Chains A and B, each alone.
Chain A
């Protein structure tokens, strides 16, 4: 293990302990009406996650998130490489992407609902539009920042255009592209869950929304815990990989 990964692990453990302590303390102050203690939540979560009902909702969310992420990555990288390679195209389209990035996606939701209807496709679309822009923007910058001298070296060595992309541009741009993928991952997850919360009859987002409606504190706490653990784990793993990539350059 390299020292950076060790430090990341230490920071993560510290964060977990701090959150648990704060949670327990908050529970003592607020009481049973609005909160459950960490132990109670864990006990409920253990019971709830073994029900078939949970498995069905989890499968639904996994499918929506998987599809949304796949689309966001494929479309984001395609846009990124195309615009990054062409000064002209990026001059024209990059400002539009930045503008699109800064508007709250929720305002687009009614339009998406009209276009895709209730259910899987609008969830996927909502997840994708959250993730695709940061991936594209990071990729554009990454490709554009590839040192010119690497390209010249490739020319002198007689690389074909395909080899130039696969052997030089991609590896040179990878650390920065990966940073975009990391952000794209979390935003796609947020987008997918938001989609489920507002226009779906299935999935963890829907489950969370109905738990809020029924004031089912156990379920709210459990779902929040599960989602936090999942997003947190993924984020730490991706960050560790990213640091490995940067360490070399």
Chain B
């Protein structure tokens, strides 16, 4: 990468969405089209921790898949490091999905090695990265276990480790701890903060837990009920070396309260829609 390019990358935002809409229309049935998302304008800065909260079904996962290049926007433009994505999966992006995506037919360390398939690395470097990811996620004792032998939380760690080995510049996390109990979630939150600090990557975290967002993120995007739009962006102002102990601070309560104020109406709409549909 030459000097001008580097400067450009630093200056521009890492991810930018312009007037992005997503409509799901089943082939041949235009009447059943679902306007899932948008219009959305969003900028992710290099190295920031951005969280998204929103009522269920508001299009959070849809937004993540657009940024990951797994689906294309119906209209508008999504760009990663200055280049439009247009349904092509960009290099340097790692994704951890909402559901458990660990491969049951591979051991933990083979699962993690799978992340490196598309990279041409010398074998020594591969082994080193796998060791590092295992250590970072506390999986060393389970390196040769199969996912079926692990708890749900452990399996989600395997998926995070599989993403980390590629050393992504942007990590997308879709409710990675949704299925875990509150205590484990707080601790996993600490680990995500840790890896965010150590890797220097940008983190985009979807969550339905307002306290999780308030504790982890630099900025929090609040989404409306479907079709999901950004109705508020909250800056937390935490220092970079924060951890889960900030839940005791006054500011934490204030942020959570503000998130809830923005969301209450939207969440009621989402529930109302569910009741109307059934």
- Quick one: which of B108-124 are within 8 Å of A by CB? 114-115, 117-118
- Pick from B65, B97, B100, B118: contact of A158, CB under 8 Å: B118
Chain A hits for B89, CB < 8 A: 155-156, 158
Is B152 close to A, CB under 8 A?
A: no
CB of A204, distance to nearest CB on chain B (Å): 38
A247-B101 contact given A155-B89, A156-B68, A158-B118, CB 8 Å threshold = no
A91 within 8 A of B: no
- The complex places the Cα of A164 from the Cα of B4 at a distance, in Å, of 37
Task: Give the CA-CA distance A152 to B97 in the complex, in Å.
Answer: 9
Is B148 an interface residue when CB atoms closer than 8 A count as contact?
yes
Kindly state the interface size class of chain A when it binds its partner.
10 to 19
Contacting pair A171 B148 (CB below 8 A)? no
Question: Inside 8 A of A155's CB, which chain B residues have their CB?
Answer: 70, 89
Interface flag for B260 (CB, 8 Å): no
Assess whether B99 is in contact with A149, with CB atoms less than 8 Å apart.
yes
Contact B101 A149 (CB under 8 A): yes
Q: Which residues of B contact A247 (CB under 8 A)?
A: 148
Known contacts A155-B89, A157-B118, A171-B105, A249 near B148 by CB under 8 Å: yes
**Known A155-B70, A159-B117; contact A172-B105, beta-carbon cutoff 8 A:** yes
Q: State whether A150 and B70 are in contact (beta carbons under 8 Å apart), knowing that A156-B89, A163-B117, A249-B148 are contacts in the complex.
A: no
- A248 adjacent to chain B (CB < 8 Å): yes
* Closest B residue to A88 using CB positions: B27
Beta-carbon contact of A152 and B146 below 8 Å = no
| In the assembled complex, A147 has its CB within 8 A of some CB on chain B | yes
User: Whose C-beta in chain A lies nearest to the C-beta of B147?
Assistant: A248
**Given A159-B118, A247-B148, A249-B148, A153 and B97 contact (CB-CB distance below 8 Å):** yes
Question: Which residues of A in the span 155-182 have a Cβ within 8 Å of any Cβ on B?
Answer: 155-159, 163, 167-168, 171-172, 174
A156 near B94 with CB under 8 A, answer yes
The interface residues of chain A lying within 8 Å CB-to-CB of B118 are 157-159
A163's nearest neighbour on chain B, judged by CB, is B117
Interface hits, B64-121 → A, CB 8 Å: 65, 68, 70, 89, 91, 93-95, 97-101, 103-106, 114-115, 117-118
In the complex formed, the residue of A with least CB distance to B166 is A157
A167 to B94, CA, bound (A): 19
Minimal Cβ-Cβ distance residue in A for B172: A156
Rounded to whole Å, the gap between the CB of A152 and the closest CB of chain B is 6
A157-B114 in contact (CB<8A):
yes
Q: Contact: A248 with B104, CB < 8 Å? A: yes
Complex-state Cα separation, A171 to B68, whole angstroms: 25
Q: Which residues of B contact A153 (CB under 8 A)?
A: 95, 97, 101
Say which residue of B70, B100, B104 sits within 8 Å of A156 (CB atoms): B70
Report how far A150 CA is from B115 CA in the complex, Å: 12
Tell me the nearest residue of chain A to B65, going by C-beta.
A152
Within 210-249 of A, Cβ neighbours of B (below 8 Å) are at: 247-249
Chain B residues with CB under 8 Å of A149's CB are 97-101
State how many angstroms separate the Cβ of B177 from the closest Cβ of chain A: 16
Which of chain B's residues have a CB closer than 8 A to the CB of A152?
65, 70, 95, 97, 101
Alpha-carbon distance between A240 and B117 when the two chains are bound, in angstroms: 32
Residues of B contacting A147 in the complex (Cβ-Cβ under 8 angstroms): 99, 101
Give Cα A177–Cα B118 distance, bound, in whole angstroms.
28
| Cα of A149 to Cα of B115 in the assembled complex, Å | 15
- Complex Cα spacing A163 to B65, Å: 22
A249 touching B104 in the complex, CB below 8 Å, given contacts A155-B70, A158-B89, A163-B117:
yes
Which residues of chain B in 31-47 are interfacial with respect to chain A, using CB atoms and an 8 Å cutoff? none
- Bound CA span A171–B105, Å: 7
Chain A residues closer than 8 Å to B114, beta-carbon distance: 157, 167
In the complex, A40→B64 CA distance in Å?
Answer: 73
B104 partner residues in chain A, CB cutoff 8 A? 172, 248-249
Which 7 A-B pairs give the minimum distances between C-beta atoms?
A249-B104, A171-B105, A158-B118, A149-B101, A149-B99, A153-B101, A156-B95
B interface, CB within 8 angstroms of A: 65, 68, 70, 89, 91, 93-95, 97-101, 103-106, 114-115, 117-118, 146, 148
Report 10 cross-chain contacts, Cβ distance below 8 Å, ordered by A residue: A149-B98, A149-B99, A149-B101, A152-B65, A153-B95, A155-B70, A156-B70, A167-B114, A172-B103, A249-B148
